[in-house]
Amino acid sequence: MSGPAPPRPEAFTPALRVLSAVAPALVGIAFLAAWEAAVRWFAVPPYILPGPVAIAQALVADWGLLSRSLLVTLKVAGLALLAAVTVGGLLAVLFAQSRWVERALFPYAVVLQVTPIVAIAPLILIWVDNVLLALLVCAWIVAFFPILSNTVLGLHSADRNLEDLFRLHGATRWQVLWLLRLPSALPYFLAGLRVAGGLALIGAVVAEFVAGVGGTGSGLAFRILEASFQLRIPRMFAALALISVCGIAIFALLGLVQHLALRHWHESALRRDG
């Protein structure tokens, strides 16, 4: 006599979704609680390692100062990401249209990617008179390569049989690009965009560290340096926390854009049961 039928995978889907959403928060809360307990148990001075409570208090007390610096950093990161999308996307289309152009120019894009931004940022700050523009160039160098490389890969990954079908029906090169190759490259472009978003923020922070810009135009990197010089370590950790939260928010936002753009047609975004 057969037993009851096993539950379908769909029955576990809501519970698994709730668990997947709650689990990271629970791990984070446990980590912060252990951190606070260890700091209090071992009586660690706040100028060495502040606890989460002290960091939260510093964040609230210095919010006016830190929020203004946060806007400066986000402005540089956002403009750098926009420039990376524009330049990287246009270069990718150009490379896809001409193999000779790709072979001639792509190695220089690799050189920019593998060169440490810390090494060339001082030169950029010397050559570019405008500090904001110099920071933007530094952040753009870090962010544009994932856009370029992923989009080029996507443009070259279009179905060859469909390309032959397009040409069989007399489609021009630009029609093949617009109707076939660009849609095929969209998932690759969006994947590169998620990576580039975080790299733009990192590039902006690194450039600010090198520039050491103070005053009204100071970003979070300068606030970290300033707090370290003054031994206001809770404020320094508060600025670091803001950078981390912004990085997570950028990644999540771009992930949502990726999901909304692909959810109706691409395998990577289609819902799977079980």
181-193 residue pLDDT tens: 999 999 999 999 9
List pLDDT tens digits, range 145-158: 999 999 999 999 88
Angle 181-184-187 (CA atoms, 0-180°, nearest 5)?
140
Rounded to whole angstroms, how far apart are CA atoms 72 and 210? 15
Residue 168 buriedness (CB in 10 A; 0-12 / 13-18 / 19+): exposed
Task: List pLDDT tens digits, range 119-137.
Answer: 888 888 889 888 889 999 9
- Could you tell me which of 208, 223, 216, 70 has the C-alpha nearest to residue 131? 208
pLDDT of residue 200: 95
68-95 burial by CB neighbour count: b if 16+ within 10 A, else e?
Answer: ebbebbbbbbbbbbebbbeebbebbbeb
> How sure is the predictor about 241, in pLDDT bands with cuts at 50, 70 and 90?
very high
pLDDT number for residue 22? 80
Contact call for residues 233 and 47 (beta carbons, < 8 A): yes
Question: Which one of 155-169, 183-197, 252-266 scores highest in mean pLDDT?
Answer: 183-197
Identity of residue 247: G
Contacts of 150 (CB under 8 A, 6+ apart): 188, 189, 191, 192, 195
In this prediction, residues 38-50 reach a mean pLDDT of 92
SS3 (DSSP) at 108: helix
Q: Where are the domains of the chain?
A: 55-262
Topology annotation, domain 55-262: MetI-like fold (1.10.3720)
Percentage of the residues of the chain whose pLDDT score is greater than 70: 89
pLDDT at 213: 63
pTM equals 0.86
